[in-house]
Amino acid sequence: MDQLPKNKKLILFDGVCNLCNRAVQYVIKHDKQHLFVFAALESRIGKEILKTYNIDTSKTDSILLYSKKNGVKVKSTAALLIAKDLGFPRNGLSLFLIVPAFIRNVVYDFIAKNRYKWFGKQDACMIPTKALETRFLE
């Protein structure tokens, strides 16, 4: 976790999930402030954070948001907090944070449960291009 550059937020994602990889590409495209860096859940830093925060990947296995200041956010809370930092109009989605997480996560869990069936799966984690290497911790 010491690898995280100062004032950056780390998005941990399922490196073999096509939906997760598309979400990462979307964040990269719209992250004008370069606030986010990325690593696969399967990476060394991903495993370290999962262990430190005692996160069971059988219950939470898609996108997580980590910052030194706020720790780990999971599921719909992570997704909405990421959107909040992506500028207008995406930041408007953060209004859904007023909805209790247990309600938001019903929808989130349904999509997460079916993401491989609907969007497919890769054999290996995404390898960033040379231009994007600095945005990925591992």
Strand order in the sheet with 9-13: 36-40, 9-13, 64-67, 71-74
Q: Which residues pair with 10 in a beta bridge?
A: 37, 66
Amino acid at residue number 91? N
Residue 42, in any domain of the structure:
yes
Q: Which residues contact 28 (CB under 8 A, 6 or more apart)?
A: 36, 38, 132, 135
Residue 77, in any domain of the structure:
yes
Give pLDDT, residue 105. 93
Give pLDDT, residue 100. 96
**What's the domain count of the chain?**
1
Give pLDDT, residue 116. 78
How do residues 55-112 score in pLDDT, each as one tens digit?
887 777 678 999 988 999 999 999 999 999 999 999 999 999 999 999 999 998 898 8
SS3 113: helix
Residue 111, in any domain of the structure:
yes
Residue 96, in any domain of the structure:
yes
CA angle at residue 75 from 18 to 22, to 5 degrees?
Answer: 20
Q: Which residues contact 46 (CB under 8 A, 6 or more apart)?
A: 12, 39, 40, 138
How do residues 5-46 score in pLDDT, each as one tens digit?
788 999 998 776 778 888 888 999 999 999 999 988 888 998
What residue numbers bound the domain in which 58 lies? 9-135
Q: Which residues contact 68 (CB under 8 A, 6 or more apart)?
A: 1, 4
Residue 84, in any domain of the structure:
yes
Residue 45, in any domain of the structure:
yes
Residue 130, in any domain of the structure:
yes
Residue 3, in any domain of the structure:
no
Quote the pTM value.
Answer: 0.85
Is the CB of residue 64 less than 8 Å from the CB of residue 72?
A: yes
Give pLDDT, residue 62. 73
